[in-house]
Each structure stands twice: as C-alpha cells, then as structure tokens.
Amino acid sequence: MAEKARFYDAKISKIVSLTSTVKHFVLDYPQEADTNFIAGQFMMVHLEKDGKPHKKPYSIASNPSLPKKIELCIKIVEGGYVSTWFFGLKEGDVIHTSLPYGVFTVREPWQENIVFVGTGTGVAPLRGMIEKLYERGCDKHIWLIFGNRHETDVLYDDEWRTLEKQHKNFHYIPTVSRPKDWKGETAYVQDIVKKTFAGKTEGLDFYGCGLVPMCQQLKAALLEMNIPKERIHFEQFT
C-alpha cells in the first residue's frame, strides 16, 4: 500500500545558481514535519494558476538523512508556469509542498553493481541515491554516466569528482554532445553505456532518469545488450 502524502509549508533557505538556466533550492521544514522519504522519490509543489489549485512534481535532489531539509534542482523552461514561478522566488519565501511520491528507488539488497544514467536535471534523484548508498557503506561498483549538451551545463561536477577521489568504486563519466573546449566524452549516454559495458553486462542494475526520448533510447540500447527487464529502472520527465 502506497504511503499517504504529507503536506507542509517549507521556507526557502538557500538558492544557488548552478548554470544560467538551473537553480538549486534548499527547503527548510518545521521541526514537527515528517520529511522522511526514500532516495529517488519526488515531491509536489502546490500553488495557484488562474485562480485554481495547481501542482507540479519535482524529484528530490538530496539525501533523506538531511534533517528537516529537502533540496531541489530546477531548470527554467520557456513558457513553463511553475519553473518561471520558482525562478522568481527569493530566499525566505514560503512554499506549499507534499511528499513523498514515486517508486524510483534503489532495489535492495544490493546484489549487483549499479549504473546510474542521467541527463540534465535528471541527475537530481540520482544525486540523492548515490549519496545515500555511500552513507550506508555500499561496496558495489557505482557508475554515473551524465549527459549534457554543453560543458557549462554539467550539474554538481565538483561533487562527482570529489566523490570519485573518495571512493575507488565510484566511476564518473560525464559526456557533452555539443562541446566547445571539452576534453571528455562527446557521445550520447546510451552510446557511452554500450561502449563501457560491451560484453560486461553481468551483475549490473541500471537506473536512468531524464526526458522521455533519452529514456526510450537508453532502454532500447539496454534491451539490445540483453539486459533483463527487471534490471532496468526509469524515471521519465516530460
């Protein structure tokens, strides 16, 4: 039975511009709020549109262990009502939220090595999942294959590189499809997956998050590689 959502007001305590189109929001909750969720789940933001209730789902970008705090990673979308509203908010503003929702979570126990594949802000739930895995002492090999159009779009790059230095079992592969001065990978994420795991598909669980076309292309590539369907998990954004 699905857990019943809980509704709370949250104060925006911090806003960080990650790129020209993406901001990181830190939401603070009152002490009495039950902000428990499983890494990878999403929340709803509630507001009004044309005088009527309106809601929008956002993946939670943080580790559930943060006390009474939740982090969101939001890209402003041209014509997007809620993202435009978010980009007009300032630190100290209060918003209405509900949580938790969703089943995009790491399967337990960890019997396999784990491959996370994200594009753009699709990396948000993967960030919380990876942080939680290491907090819990996960000793499996973990890959993050992270695709973006431009090198200026790569979110949380310093965090991933620090994590790679701290954990020998973490493998970070950023890729940029429209590079300028980029020295790394330039293929699409599904092509990186095929190249990285060619002939080495045993014992891998795949988690993909991003826009629908990427998820569809990645799923097709994984099935082509004979990855069993039960080892392929997705969260698709529209």
pTM over 0.85: yes
Report how far residue 104's alpha carbon sits from residue 133's, in angstroms, rounded to the nearest whole number: 14
**d(C-alpha 167, C-alpha 142), whole Å:** 10
> Distance from CA of residue 219 to its chain's centroid?
17
pLDDT greater than 90 at residue 237 = no
Digit-coded pLDDT (tens) for 177-232? 999 999 999 999 999 999 999 888 888 999 999 999 999 999 999 999 999 999 99
The one-letter amino acid code at 101 reads Y
pLDDT reported for residue 233: 95
Q: In this predicted structure, what is the pLDDT of residue 54?
A: 97
The position carrying tokens 């001065």 is 181
Strand duo 170-176 + 204-211: pairing: unpaired
Q: What is the pLDDT of residues 165-188, one digit of tens each?
A: 999 999 999 999 999 999 999 999
Cβ atoms 44, 98 nearer than 8 A: yes
Helix (H) or strand (E) holding 157: helix 157-166
Closest by CA to 71, choosing from 47, 104, 37, 20, is 37
pLDDT digits (tens, 9 = 90+) for 1-30: 466 899 999 999 999 999 999 999 999 999
Please tell me the predicted confidence (pLDDT) of residue 2: 60
Sequence-ordered list of residues with C-beta below 8 angstroms from that of 27, at least 6 positions apart, any chain: 10, 11, 12, 13, 69, 70, 71, 72, 95, 97
| pLDDT tens-digit map of 112-162 | 899 999 999 999 999 999 999 999 999 999 999 999 999 999 999 999 999
What gap in Å lies between CA 207 and CA 104, rounded to an integer?
A: 8
What distance in Å separates the CA atoms of residue 174 and residue 178, rounded to the nearest whole number?
Answer: 13
Q: Can you tell me the mean pLDDT for 43-53? A: 96
